[in-house]
Amino acid sequence: MDIIKKVKTKFLNHYSKSPAFIVNAPGRVNLIGEHTDYNDGFVLPCAIDFSTVICVSPRTDLVVNVFAIDCNEEVDSFDLNDSIAFNDTQFWSNYVRGVIDELKKRGFTLAGCDIAIGGNVPQGAGLSSSASLEVGIAATFNQLCDLGLSTVELAQISQAAENNFVGCACGIMDQLASACGKNDQALGIDCRSLELIHTPISDDNTIVIINSNVKRGLVDSEYNTRRQQCESGAEFFGKTKLRDVTIADFEAQKSAMDPLVAKRAEHILYENQRTLDAMEAFKVNDMPAISRLMAGSHASMRDLFEITTPEIDYLVQIIADVIGDRGGVRMTGGGFGGCIVAFVANDLVDTVVDIVAEKYEKQTGIKESIFITTAADGVSVITDIEAI
Ligand code: GLA
């Protein structure tokens, strides 16, 4: 609530009026199922208690004014009559422009507005601050112009904006988690059918996210290389997606594959199975199974998909040592830095925080940041402004 109040006050000071409504779009953490989304596979993220907040007031013309509180309070302004151009100098604005461009391409009639954007999803940490911004903007125009879009459609439009306008070939996981998350549940997603498999999380446990604060480098180029390698893997089996390759077929033929492509494919095929198994394990709170599956996922990202860093591996190792089979821990997100996620029994949270405080900076020279969260609801619109 504090962050919503903060953005509302900034809006008021900047535009000298109250917003008509406020959109709250959460970031996400992925519990398991990494790089499986663009292979049409399975993922298990949840929305988190950290979000992008957008205050909105309608205008009578077709101008969109954007005030970006967390980007040095920069402003951007454009007219919906004009074709939406890429903004070379204010990169953040392209998430806003991209979503509007996608809505226009789909033939929706849009209206102008004054908006202020702020939030507390750490940027560049792999917790989907950009996806939450996209979903928040899609929800803004859905509300403003009464577009009647479902939350899944908000996610699809947001992903299209990222793919087509921003130029990152991401999958659908982040936007769907931000749009469709449910309080106290993880969100199993079949990334082919977009079926959502709501997976309750026991409140005997806590989600601890630790940002390694390793500067993420080469993320986009490495991400796109992994995508191509996965496509080559599927092609080897005469399929368009690795989702359609069975583990049995892979094991029978892997020795004939390019060794690097085989490693990438092995990660995806077994990660899909681990994710399906994890959905069952979370439902019955089978901690030893969750622990084993998350450990398997991390080892696979480290040794087969090769997207972890030494600092991340170290964090995972020291946490795994203290939680045993009473919790799971792994890197979360696209990789090459960013965060780890630990899902642990409530009474172990302090132990995890203490071991990281004691060892991580000493070993790596980098200070971590810690976020404690529960699984949160997806994007929402607040119209009772006075109550904030
Ligand atoms: C990024 C992408 C997602 C997904 C993850 C890896 O977060 O945006 O679509 O591919 O990486 O699981």
Pocket test for ligand 1, best of 31, 158, 168, 170 (most atoms within 8 A of CB): 170
User: 178, 47 in Cβ contact below 8 A?
Assistant: yes
CB of 301 shorter than 6 A to ligand 1: no
Query: Is 110 within the bounds of a domain?
Result: yes
CA 30–ligand 1 middle distance (angstroms): 9
CA-nearest residue, atom 11 of ligand 1: 334
Q: Residue 138: give its domain's CATH number.
A: 3.30.230.10
CA distance 325 to 315: 17
In ligand 1, which atom is closest to the CA atom of 34? 12
- What does the buried/exposed string (b/e) look like for 232-256 if buried means 16 or more CB atoms within 10 Å of the residue's CB? ebbebbeeebbbebeeeebeeebee
CA distance 80 to 201: 43
CA distance 367 to 360: 7
User: 135, 178 in Cβ contact below 8 A?
Assistant: yes
CA 324–ligand 1 middle distance (angstroms): 28
Per-residue model confidence (pLDDT) at position 217: 63
In ligand 1, which atom is closest to the CA atom of 172? 9
Residues 6 or more apart from 344 whose CB is under 8 A from it? 205, 206, 208, 323, 326, 327, 328, 329, 352
Per-residue model confidence (pLDDT) at position 215: 78
- What does the buried/exposed string (b/e) look like for 140-169 if buried means 16 or more CB atoms within 10 Å of the residue's CB? bbbbbbebebebeebbbbbbbbbbebbeee
Query: Is 51 within the bounds of a domain?
Result: yes
pLDDT in tens, the chain (388 residues): 699 999 999 999 999 999 999 999 999 999 999 999 999 999 999 999 999 999 999 999 999 999 999 999 999 999 999 999 999 999 999 999 999 999 999 999 999 999 999 999 998 889 999 999 999 999 999 999 999 999 999 999 999 999 999 988 899 999 999 999 999 999 999 999 999 999 999 999 999 999 999 977 657 789 999 999 999 999 999 999 999 999 999 999 999 999 999 999 999 999 999 999 999 999 999 999 999 999 999 999 999 999 999 999 999 999 999 999 999 999 999 999 999 999 999 999 999 999 999 999 999 999 999 999 999 999 999 999 988 8
CA distance 8 to 116: 8
CB of 27 shorter than 6 A to ligand 1: no
Query: Is 338 within the bounds of a domain?
Result: no
- Give, in degrees to the nearest 5, the angle at Cα 321 between 319 and 323: 70
Per-residue model confidence (pLDDT) at position 12: 97
CB of 338 shorter than 6 A to ligand 1: no
Query: Is 193 within the bounds of a domain?
Result: yes
Residue 91 token pair? 């990169």
* DSSP codes, 121-135: SPTTSSS-HHHHHHH
Q: How many domains does the chain have?
A: 1
CA distance 224 to 217: 13
Q: How many CA atoms lie within 13 A of 18 on its CB side?
A: 10
Q: Per the residue annotation, which of 37, 88, 174, 350 is the catalytic one?
A: 174
Query: Is 213 within the bounds of a domain?
Result: no
Q: What is the pLDDT of residues 330-353, one digit of tens each?
A: 999 999 999 999 999 999 999 999
User: Which residue range forms the structural domain that includes residue 104?
Assistant: 3-199+376-387
CB of 35 shorter than 6 A to ligand 1: yes
CA 332–ligand 1 middle distance (angstroms): 9
Pocket test for ligand 1, best of 159, 174, 275, 305 (most atoms within 8 A of CB): 174
CA 174–ligand 1 middle distance (angstroms): 7
Distances (CA, A) of 247 to 243, 244, 251, 266, 271: 10, 10, 6, 8, 11
Query: Is 171 within the bounds of a domain?
Result: yes
Residues 6 or more apart from 236 whose CB is under 8 A from it? 253, 257, 258, 261, 265
**Does the annotation count 79 as an active-site position?**
no
CB of 37 shorter than 6 A to ligand 1: yes
Residue 146 token pair? 């009464």
pTM: 0.97
* DSSP codes, 247-302: HHHHHHHGGGS-HHHHHHHHHHHHHHHHHHHHHHHHHTT-HHHHHHHHHHHHHHHH
Residues 6 or more apart from 60 whose CB is under 8 A from it? 112
Query: Is 53 within the bounds of a domain?
Result: yes
Query: Is 153 within the bounds of a domain?
Result: yes
CA distance 290 to 328: 6
